[in-house]
Amino acid sequence: MPEDQAGKLEATENTISAMAAAAAEQQQFYLLLGNLLSPDNVVRKQAEETYENIPGQSKITFLLQAIRNTTAAEEARQMAAVLLRRLLSSAFDEVYPALPSDVQTAIKSELLMIIQMETQSSMRKKVCDIAAELARNLIGVY
């Protein structure tokens, strides 16, 4: 196999591996969201500790993906929406300004798109609350 084809094949394999790893991480995050809702105190406490150890920028990514995923359990999506609003409320200055500007723009666009596409009124309200919290924090920045 020529060297350039081998390089392309390796790059494709690396991309597929990265996508599989990201999908596995998102699945783990869905399990974590479910455990945060658990009636079992031990399971819930352990999930809370795990959630607190996830870096803020990663939390935003995972939470937005969970909110966007209409095939995920409604309770998990609503929990993700509440957690994202809380994150923007309590740790905005540590998390959001550190994101690249294109990611910040993508988050704003994503929230507006979710509001337009969401069919569940309670979920749409929660996403509106997230957008309002983001706007409230950005008003002081610009």
User: What's the count of helices (H) and strands (E) in the chain, helices before strands?
Assistant: 7, 0
Highest mean pLDDT among 12-16, 20-24, 27-31, 112-116: 112-116
**pLDDT > 90? residue 23:** no
d(CA 121, CA 140): 29
Instruction: Give the tens place of pLDDT for each residue, 35-80.
Output: 999 999 999 999 999 999 999 989 999 999 999 999 989 999 999 9
**SS3 breakdown of the chain: % helix, strand, coil, rounded to 5?**
85, 0, 15
Residue with structure tokens 């959630």?
51
Give the closest residue to 57 by CA, choosing from 26, 22, 92: 92
pLDDT at 89: 95
Q: What is the pTM of this model?
A: 0.82
**Range scoring the smallest mean pLDDT among 11-25, 50-64, 114-128:** 11-25
Residue-level length of the chain: 142
d(CA 9, CA 19): 15
* Residue 102 binned pLDDT confidence (cut-offs 50, 70, 90): very high
pLDDT at 130: 98
* Residue 27 binned pLDDT confidence (cut-offs 50, 70, 90): confident
pLDDT at 25: 83
Q: DSSP letter string over 39-106? A: S-HHHHHHHHHHHHTS-HHHHHHHHHHHHH-TTS-HHHHHHHHHHHHHHHHHSHHHHGGGS-HHHHHH
pLDDT at 90: 94
